[in-house]
């Protein structure tokens, strides 16, 4: 067994890697839909995301077998290498099919690497400090997200999309090199063989885990709609330039930086997850509806409403993770995979939902219905029991 100070040392390094990976992710996250729209048209962007996340869903389900065969270090190294190639390929792509193929590779690997980091961070965490450790972990990740949108906006005022993909791939390369030299001797045990449908059956019978899975899914649908459609909506329909959008997104993402760790600490020490989940869902849902109803070109009004959607989402985000990881441990890898698969499922269902709504109505109805869905999920938040 590793000593406590060794655990802390490894954990600090994973926090650094989490920061750099998040910075790489955030640089391109809000322009992927516009980038793909240049190849395929904005109407087809949702379909491309759906297909990419169908592949992601399959890959995530197979990932435990890969880890058990290669060990988590080699599996993570392979995923990081493919991420680097995917981003580099997106920057170099001139043909639609090439851009599509590299986007699929990058999307799949992006989801797999966060599962690897989850496993590593959980391995070095203690149950009593889960809220604080997960809170610190996500605060550091969210600092990267906070800094990246304004950087993206500034770069797009002077360069084209490929520059963002080259910069993002360079950050992945740094993590890949650091990971190889620092962790090739770290021995994290293999995990017991698990069964997908057996895990689903057990989760479905457990009302507490079932509730948090549904909340996690709804939150990811909200993120999906916001990440894919909001940049296009604000840029193409409302008429804001990328510099203004970058400032808006930086402001809204600041909530994750300033709220995540305090919320995790409060959940550990004083308040329960139920209350904070409920409040967060209500705030997110109400202001998503408001976002769909406002009109005009008032920069500050749009910024404030976006900011408030993320005040609620930040609470839900950390409470979701805190609650879940207090009820599982590192041996529950298939359950962790299923939990992270809520993202893949949301990015399959979300674009399908959005494509249908936009074919019948408009962006206004899309955001109103998304807000109502988030509010409806408070039913499950109220039914869970706080952890101790």
pLDDT tens for 14-69 read: 788 989 999 999 999 999 999 999 999 888 899 999 999 999 988 988 887 888 88
Query: Tell me, what's the pLDDT at 4?
Result: 43
The region of weakest confidence among 25-39, 69-83, 214-228, 257-271 is 257-271
**Residue 33 near residue 231, CB atoms below 8 Å:** yes
Q: Percentage helix, strand, coil, to 5, in the chain?
A: 85, 0, 15
pLDDT tens for 176-209 read: 999 898 877 666 655 555 566 777 777 788 777 8
Using CA atoms, how far apart are residues 299 and 306, in angstroms rounded to an integer?
Answer: 11
The region of weakest confidence among 323-327, 334-338, 343-347 is 334-338
CA dihedral 307, 310, 315, 316 (to 10 degrees): 160
Using CA atoms, how far apart are residues 369 and 288, in angstroms rounded to an integer?
Answer: 9
pLDDT tens for 222-260 read: 999 999 999 999 999 999 999 999 999 999 988 887 887
- pTM of the shown model: 0.85
Query: Tell me, what's the pLDDT at 352?
Result: 94
pLDDT at 330 over 70: no
Query: Tell me, what's the pLDDT at 185?
Result: 67
Query: Tell me, what's the pLDDT at 155?
Result: 93
Whole-number percent of the chain with pLDDT over 90 = 56
Please give the average per-residue pLDDT across 318-327, as a whole number.
81
Query: Tell me, what's the pLDDT at 2?
Result: 43
Residue-range domains of the chain with CATH: 7-381 (1.20.1250.20)
Query: Tell me, what's the pLDDT at 287?
Result: 98
Whole-number percent of the chain with pLDDT over 70 = 87
pLDDT at 1 over 70: no
In order of 129, 130, 131, the CA distances from 388 in angstroms are: 11, 11, 11
pLDDT tens for 349-384 read: 999 999 999 999 999 999 999 999 999 999 999 988
Using CA atoms, how far apart are residues 136 and 153, in angstroms rounded to an integer?
Answer: 27
Query: Tell me, what's the pLDDT at 387?
Result: 63
């Amino acid at each position: 067994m590793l000593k406590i100070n060794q655990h802390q040392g490894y954990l600090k390094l994973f926090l650094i890697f989490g920061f750099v990976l998040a910075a790489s992710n955030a640089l391109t996250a809000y322009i992927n839909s516009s980038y793909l729209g240049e190849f395929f048209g904005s109407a087809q962007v949702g379909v491309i995301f759906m297909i990419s996340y169908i592949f992601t869903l399959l890959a995530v389900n197979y990932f435990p077998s890969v880890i058990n065969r290669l060990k988590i270090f080699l599996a993570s190294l392979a995923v990081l290498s493919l991420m680097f190639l995917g981003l580099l390929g997106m920057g170099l792509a001139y043909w639609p099919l090439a851009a599509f193929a590299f986007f699929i590779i990058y999307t799949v690997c992006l989801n797999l690497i966060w599962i690897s980091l989850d496993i590593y961070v959980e391995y070095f965490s203690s149950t009593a400090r889960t809220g604080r450790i997960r809170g610190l972990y996500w605060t550091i990740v969210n600092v990267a997200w906070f800094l990246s949108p304004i950087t993206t906006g500034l770069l797009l005022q002077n360069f084209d999309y490929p520059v963002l993909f080259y910069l993002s791939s360079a950050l992945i390369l740094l993590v890949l090199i650091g990971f190889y030299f620092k962790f090739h001797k770290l021995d994290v045990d293999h995990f017991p063989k698990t069964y997908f449908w057996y895990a689903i059956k057990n989760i479905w019978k457990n009302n507490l885990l079932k509730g948090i899975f549904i909340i996690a899914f709804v939150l990811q649908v909200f993120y999906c709609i916001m990440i894919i459609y909001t940049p296009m909506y604000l840029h193409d329909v409302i008429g804001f330039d990328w510099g203004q959008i970058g400032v808006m997104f930086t402001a809204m993402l600041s909530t994750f930086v300033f709220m995540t760790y305090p919320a995790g600490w409060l959940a550990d020490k004083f308040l329960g997850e139920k209350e904070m989940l409920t409040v967060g869902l209500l705030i997110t849902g109400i202001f998503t509806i408001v976002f769909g109803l406002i009109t005009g070109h008032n920069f500050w009004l749009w910024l404030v409403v976006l900011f408030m959607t993320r005040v609620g989402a930040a609470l839900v985000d950390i409470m979701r993770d805190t609650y879940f990881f207090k009820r599982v441990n590192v041996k529950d890898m298939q359950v962790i995979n299923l939990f992270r698969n809520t993202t893949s499922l949301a990015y399959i269902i979300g674009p399908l939902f959005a494509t249908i709504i936009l074919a019948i109505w408009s962006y206004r109805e899309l955001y109103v219905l998304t807000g109502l869905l988030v509010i409806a999920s408070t039913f499950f938040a109220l039914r869970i029991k706080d952890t101790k």
